[in-house]
Amino acid sequence: MTTPDRTANIPEVVEEIRQLFERYETALVEKDVGVLDDTFWRSPHTIRYAMHENGYGFDEIHRHRTARPPGPGLKGARRRLEILTLGRDFASVNLEFQVRDRDIVGRQSQTWVRFPDLGWKVVSAHVSTVNPEPLW
């Protein structure tokens, strides 16, 4: 049994993920449901926690996508984008952003897996804001 390659941030893999992430971000603004759906793994195991809904499984995620209005949404200026790839088949993307027209920091994370027959797909995603006051 061979050990899987877990080399961090192979430049061409990072660039692949960066392009897919930007494609997804553009599709959010344009409400291109075809691209949005194509980005996510079509599985009941896929999860997307968003600001106003929790999507358990691809079908729920798709229903939320078709219901939301087009437009820039809550994201304002980007504060920090971090991409980590391990080997050629796993990646995480984390974005910190300013919430549009508010003094609140938002954050978004995506876990990407490259499937042999499907290519890169998001298997888990999360969008939230940082609570301005500590909870403890």
Could you tell me if residue 63 is inside a domain? yes
pLDDT tens for each residue of 68-89:
888 778 889 999 999 999 999 9
Could you tell me if residue 46 is inside a domain? yes
Could you tell me if residue 68 is inside a domain? yes
CATH of the domain at 97: 3.10.450.50
- pLDDT value of residue 109: 98
Write down the pTM of the prediction.
0.93
Domains held by the chain: number = 1
Per the structure, the complete domain to which residue 87 belongs is given by 11-129
* Helix/strand/coil percentages in the chain, nearest 5: 25, 40, 35
